[in-house]
């Protein structure tokens, strides 16, 4: 039985760090285990320009524990007024790494997102020209489309036509949650990757709805049926270069989750690596964990893997993980995988 595993230090290719007291309270949960992270720009107001991304990055670095090395890779929130020249200059100067497309209304703080995709073609064409990746929240917002179908419909109605129109655009389908999403990525040889979250490998929609409504398992895209979770597990544990970890760790204070209209988001940063080692061991794929957490992401983004290593150790007794992180903005509940965790980061 494997009881210790040393891998290249992981990166998180999709992370929400928030700002202010929440940022200060939760940053260590990521900087402790991850070397780099793609930082989501959906603050209020959103991070729209390179100058805003630079100043947000400074706030992140000021909030992190001094002893931790952590390199936040910044993204810009795409709006219908985004200036292609600002995006290109930010990318050329190494100040921003990617642009994030939120369809307007799709999720938390997405009101300033894109309503009419044709309006952002000039930015996307520029990005294709300079090789800058587009991170996509892949859900349609049409209220007549069932929430469990919104990702599959997005692929057919928006993503595939967009990629055909702007060929050469490098796209990451963020937090893919369906078999259709996995199959679409697998059908494309180049220019398309996908992040997979920790929680979508562990829960299906029953976790949210069966036996009572559990807001701490609610996120967007919402967890789907079991067949989809199994497709995600097989993609993540396959080692296929097109799939990599993006935790989508998304903290909200407990009062904002435990209410009549609770926020979407699951806070997985503190125990993500323990959960992933458990999942990969269950799938007999511990030898492919490193590809998922530490190699495939940098390769997609055209970056080198980290030089540092981390060691995961399997303990004889379950590892104690705090169920909440206390922040100046209130307590945040940590993802409960509903099984004991034995893997620990040394
Ligand atoms: O569950 C989610 N939470 N999905 C998103 O797309 C946004 C995120 C957040 O910012 O809370
Ligand atoms: Zn997200």
- pLDDT for 107: 80
Q: Which residues is 195 bridged to in the sheet? A: 244
Q: Which of 220, 177, 219, 172 is nearest to 201 (CA)?
A: 177
Q: Tokens 């993609």 belong to which residue?
A: 235
Q: Which helix (H) or strand (E) holds 244?
A: strand 243-245
Q: Tokens 């040394």 belong to which residue?
A: 346
Catalytic (active site) residue 68: no
| CA of 40 relative to ligand 2 center, distance in Å | 7
How many angstroms separate the CA atoms of 225 and 177, rounded?
10
Ligand number nearest to the C-alpha of 197: 2
- Using CA atoms of 151, 154, 156, 157 in order, give the dihedral in degrees to the nearest 10: 160
Average pLDDT of adjacent 10-residue blocks, the chain of 346 residues: 93 98 98 98 96 98 97 98 98 98 87 93 98 98 96 98 97 98 97 98 98 98 98 98 98 98 98 98 98 98 98 96 96 98 97
In terms of residue numbers, what domain contains 263? 4-345
How many angstroms separate the CA atoms of 37 and 303, rounded?
12
CATH of the domain at 70: 3.20.20.140
Q: What is the largest CA-CA distance in the chain?
A: 56
pTM of this structure: 0.98
Query: What would the two tokens of residue 159 be?
Result: 């993503």
Q: Is 293 in contact with 7 (CB distance < 8 Å)?
A: yes
Residue tagged active-site, from 248, 329, 336, 344: 248
CA 17 from centroid of its chain's CA atoms: 11
Structural domain count, the chain = 1
Q: What are the residues whose beta carbon lies below 5 Å from ligand 2 (ion)? A: 248
CA 156 from centroid of its chain's CA atoms: 22
User: Ligand 1 atom 8: the closest Cα is on which residue?
Assistant: 265
């Amino acid at each position: 039985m494997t009881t210790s595993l040393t891998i290249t230090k992981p990166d998180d290719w999709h992370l929400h760090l928030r700002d202010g007291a929440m940022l200060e309270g939760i940053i260590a949960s990521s900087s402790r285990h991850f070397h780099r992270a793609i930082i989501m720009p959906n603050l209020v107001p959103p991070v729209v320009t390179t100058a805003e991304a630079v100043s947000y990055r400074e706030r992140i670095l000021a909030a992190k524990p001094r002893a931790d090395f952590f390199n936040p890779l910044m993204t810009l929130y795409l709006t219908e007024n985004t200036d292609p020249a600002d995006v290109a200059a930010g990318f050329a100067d190494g100040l921003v790494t990617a642009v994030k497309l939120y369809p307007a209304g799709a999720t938390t703080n997405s009101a300033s997102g894109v309503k009419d995709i044709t309006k952002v073609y000039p930015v996307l064409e520029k990005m294709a020209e300079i090789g800058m990746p587009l991170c996509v929240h892949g859900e349609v917002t049409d209220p007549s489309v069932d929430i469990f179908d919104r990702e599959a419909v997005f692929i057919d109605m928006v993503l595939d036509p967009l990629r055909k129109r702007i060929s050469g655009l490098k796209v990451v389908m963020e937090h893919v949650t369906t078999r259709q999403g996995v199959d679409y990525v697998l059908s494309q040889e180049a220019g398309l990757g996908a992040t997979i979250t920790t929680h979508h490998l562990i829960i299906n929609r029953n976790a949210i709805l069966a036996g009572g409504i559990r807001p701490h398992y609610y996120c967007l895209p919402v967890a789907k049926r079991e067949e989809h979770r199994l497709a995600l597990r097989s993609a993540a544990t396959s080692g296929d270069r097109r799939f990599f970890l993006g935790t989508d760790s998304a903290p909200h204070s407990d009062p904002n989750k435990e209410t009549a209209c609770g926020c979407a988001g699951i806070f997985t940063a503190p125990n993500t690596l323990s959960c992933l080692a458990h999942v990969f061991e269950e799938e007999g794929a511990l030898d492919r964990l490193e590809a998922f957490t530490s190699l495939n992401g940098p390769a997609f983004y055209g970056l080198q893997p980290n030089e540092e290593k981390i060691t995961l150790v399997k303990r004889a007794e379950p590892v104690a993980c705090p169920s909440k992180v206390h922040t100046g903005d209130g307590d945040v509940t940590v993802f409960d995988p509903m099984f004991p965790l034995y893997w620990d980061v040394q």
